[in-house]
Chains A and B, each alone.
Chain A
Amino acid sequence: MLDPAIVFASVLNGLTTGAVYALIALGLTLIYGVLHIINFAHGAALMAALYGVYFLHQKAGVDPYLALPLMVPAMFGAGYLLYRWVIGRASHGRDENILLVTLGIAIVLENLALYLWRSDTRTIETAYTFAMVPIGAAMIAAPKLAAFAGALCATAALLYVVTRTDLGRAIRACAKERQGARLVGIDVEHVFAMSFGIGLACLGAAACFLLPAYYVNPQVGSGFVLIAFTIVVLGGMGSFVGALAGGLLIGVVESLGGLWLGESLGQIGIFLIFIAVLLFRPQGLFGARA
């Protein structure tokens, strides 16, 4: 059997990777929970955010973590406009239409990036890129620990906004009963756009935490899409705690899977979980029945 120290390190790595996955999934689950749309452009938007963080660092020397107050509002604005101008207009009722529209947006973003910046994989180097922190017998990369902390904070922040603020109340109203919300004077389209914006803002944060320990190229987003959906479905559509728990769980599954089955086969566990959850327990761990 495998050395417990290696398994321990693998689990820790999985948790920190999973935290970043959770950050990505948080936005996705909010968008699904409120707008009931499956945002296929989520991965591509993350890729765009990663490029944003990358260029801020390369051209303006902005440290990724310091870029947070720039990226988060920027992504929020982009999401708000994207919803208002494109997605909101394409509704027409059928939810498959939204799926196709977000797919179209994903295709546009990915290939625009390909055209503008070619397919080279890019990374950044900062003072702490290689810093390691000892935890128990394992050494964990400092950026990944920061990501873990970031995910916890983001979950807490989202929970606060949704449960304690007026916007949050409006969001919950629109999520539960669109017509009723309109009848009490809530500007539903505005609330939806806000929610979509918040969802993309989470990606802005995720990008800041992700880039120091990862890389960016135009295809990077599509690699995250299915994983993010798996987490959202596993945790339960619309549940933030579920996205966090699901993210951590999937991160560990991927890490341990890679350990036991090798890099290539390791990811298969994630997709099998996805299929199994959709077939046998579509409401996930924490979600309400769809």
Chain B
Amino acid sequence: MRPLALIAGLAGAVALLPAVVESGFVLNMAIMTLYTALIAQAWNILGGFGGQFSFGHAVFFGTGAYAMAVLQVKLGLNAWLALPVALTLGAAVGAMIGALTFRYGLRGSYFALVTLAFAEVFRILANTFQFTGAGVGIQIPLRESAADLQFAGKPGFLFAILALTVASLVIAWWLKHSRYGAWLQAVRDNEDSAAALGVDVFRVKLAAIALSGALMSAGGAFYLQYFRYVDPHIAYGPAISVEALLAAIVGGMGTIFGPLLGALVLHGLGEATRSLMQNAPGINLVIYGVLLVLIVMFLPRGIAGLFGRKA
């Protein structure tokens, strides 16, 4: 089935969900799964398609969340107006980190570590300044109105995250079918060969990290609107970075549907574990960790790899 048709089909199916299901629990599961798929896709753009593994993607997530929070609470800006600012900031932070690290040729594990360091730096800064609420964080007031990008019920949020996730899937599709995407994957597979064929490696990587940053900060923005609270640990802590890369890798890096598959697997496993182990803390993460090791060892192309090359 053609990818775009599949995306449209999935979108339609999910959009019908609120008409068919009343359970807040199920709707929340759908929302959280799509949310994970979004942040995983953001990671996938830089990591899967671009080959640059980031361990600190939280740096973009937190920027999006805090931007939304600060703009609404401290500057009284409407959420819809704050959203493009948050996305732009995410891209800008990406461009800044990319400009530094790619200019100095940081790759592979060093790049992964540096992104982690940047996330930590931002976490400490957010924790220090009153502007971001310091250690206490920021809470945005309950508005329950679409005009403020909050919704009275779960369906509203479901449509919002669906829109964002569909956009991310289309962007991934575009990477598979465009010149830029061809350049990006060439850079991933062999930088020297790509350069010898006329690809401006630095610019290509820079665009990728900016795009990835913007998409990740969209995830952060959604998080803030849905949970209405952010603090330094939530925003810039390792949990978000790990969730994004875990879903992308388990599902299949460098594929369109990998992040979505990964999100489904992780949330499915999480639910199964929760019911089996009665909410024991940490157990589902233990399983995720084991899954990561197993996937890297035995199924490096992720679950999407089981479907052949077309995903």
A residues near B, CB below 8 A? 38, 86, 89-90, 92, 95-97, 99-101, 103-115, 118-119, 218, 222, 226, 229-230, 233, 262, 264-265, 267-268, 271-272, 274-275, 278-280, 282
B100 x A279 contact (CB < 8 A):
yes
A112 partner residues in chain B, CB cutoff 8 A: 282, 286
Q: Of A97, A104, A114, A115, which one neighbours B290 at CB under 8 angstroms? A: A104
The segment from B16-24, B124-132, B190-198 that touches chain A is B124-132
| Bound-state Cα–Cα, A274 to B106, Å | 13
The segment from B7-15, B79-87, B115-123, B199-207 that touches chain A is B115-123
Cross-chain pairs A/B with CB under 8 angstroms, 22 sampled? A38-B112, A92-B296, A92-B297, A95-B109, A100-B245, A101-B293, A104-B290, A104-B296, A105-B293, A106-B289, A107-B292, A108-B286, A108-B289, A112-B282, A114-B281, A114-B282, A230-B117, A275-B100, A275-B114, A278-B104, A279-B100, A279-B104
B107 to chain A, nearest CB (A): 9
Given contacts A100-B292, A101-B296, is CB(A218)–CB(B282) below 8 Å?
Answer: yes
A108 x B297 contact (CB < 8 A):
no
A115 partner residues in chain B, CB cutoff 8 A: 280-283, 286
B139 part of interface (Cβ distance < 8 Å): no
A96 partner residues in chain B, CB cutoff 8 A: 53, 108-109, 112
B114 partner residues in chain A, CB cutoff 8 A: 274-275, 278-279
Q: Which B-chain residue is minimally distant from A86 (CB atoms)?
A: B293
5 A-B pairs with the lowest CB-CB distances in the bound complex, closest first: A107-B289, A114-B282, A108-B289, A111-B282, A104-B292
B104 partner residues in chain A, CB cutoff 8 A: 278-280
Q: Which A-chain residue is minimally distant from B121 (CB atoms)?
A: A271
| Bound-state Cα–Cα, A106 to B239, Å | 12
Given contacts A92-B300, A95-B108, A100-B249, is CB(A111)–CB(B283) below 8 Å?
Answer: yes
| Bound-state Cα–Cα, A195 to B112, Å | 24
| Bound-state Cα–Cα, A106 to B245, Å | 14
| Bound-state Cα–Cα, A275 to B111, Å | 10
Q: Of B109, B125, B281, B297, which one neighbours A101 at CB under 8 angstroms? A: B297
Given contacts A111-B285, A279-B101, A282-B110, is CB(A103)–CB(B297) below 8 Å?
Answer: no
| Bound-state Cα–Cα, A163 to B118, Å | 37
| 8 other A-B residue contacts (CB within 8 Å) besides A99-B53, A109-B289, A112-B286 | A96-B112, A99-B55, A101-B293, A105-B289, A107-B288, A114-B282, A267-B120, A271-B118
A271 x B117 contact (CB < 8 A):
yes
Q: Which B-chain residue is minimally distant from A265 (CB atoms)?
A: B128
Interface residues of B in 206-234 (CB under 8 A from A): none
B residues near A, CB below 8 A? 53, 55, 100-101, 104, 106, 108-110, 112-114, 116-118, 120-121, 124-125, 127-128, 135, 238, 242, 245, 249, 280-283, 285-286, 288-293, 296-297, 300
Residue of A86, A114, A271, A274 with most partner-chain B CB within 10 A:
A271
| Bound-state Cα–Cα, A2 to B182, Å | 58
Residue of B106, B116, B117, B291 with most partner-chain A CB within 10 A:
B117
| Bound-state Cα–Cα, A112 to B296, Å | 20
| Bound-state Cα–Cα, A133 to B285, Å | 43
B266 to chain A, nearest CB (A): 12
Number of A-B contacts (CB under 8 A): 124
B117 partner residues in chain A, CB cutoff 8 A: 226, 230, 271, 274-275
A226 x B289 contact (CB < 8 A):
no
| Bound-state Cα–Cα, A49 to B43, Å | 33
B118 x A275 contact (CB < 8 A):
yes
A99 x B109 contact (CB < 8 A):
yes
B124 x A278 contact (CB < 8 A):
no
Q: Which A-chain residue is minimally distant from B288 (CB atoms)?
A: A107
Given contacts A97-B300, A100-B296, A105-B289, is CB(A279)–CB(B281) below 8 Å?
Answer: no
A107 x B281 contact (CB < 8 A):
no
B113 x A118 contact (CB < 8 A):
no
A268 to chain B, nearest CB (A): 5
A268 partner residues in chain B, CB cutoff 8 A: 121, 124-125
B293 x A90 contact (CB < 8 A):
yes
Given contacts A111-B285, A115-B280, is CB(A103)–CB(B292) below 8 Å?
Answer: yes
Q: Which B-chain residue is minimally distant from A115 (CB atoms)?
A: B282
| Bound-state Cα–Cα, A95 to B238, Å | 21
A89 x B297 contact (CB < 8 A):
yes
| Bound-state Cα–Cα, A254 to B120, Å | 15
Q: Which B-chain residue is minimally distant from A44 (CB atoms)?
A: B289
Q: Which B-chain residue is minimally distant from A290 (CB atoms)?
A: B110
A97 x B120 contact (CB < 8 A):
no
Q: Of B110, B289, B291, which one neighbours A111 at CB under 8 angstroms? A: B289
B113 x A229 contact (CB < 8 A):
yes
Given contacts A265-B128, A271-B121, A274-B117, is CB(A279)–CB(B106) below 8 Å?
Answer: yes
B110 x A278 contact (CB < 8 A):
yes
A103 partner residues in chain B, CB cutoff 8 A: 55, 242, 292
| Bound-state Cα–Cα, A282 to B125, Å | 25
A83 to chain B, nearest CB (A): 13
| Bound-state Cα–Cα, A57 to B267, Å | 39
B245 partner residues in chain A, CB cutoff 8 A: 100
| Bound-state Cα–Cα, A106 to B242, Å | 11
A265 x B124 contact (CB < 8 A):
yes
B242 partner residues in chain A, CB cutoff 8 A: 103, 107
A264 x B127 contact (CB < 8 A):
yes
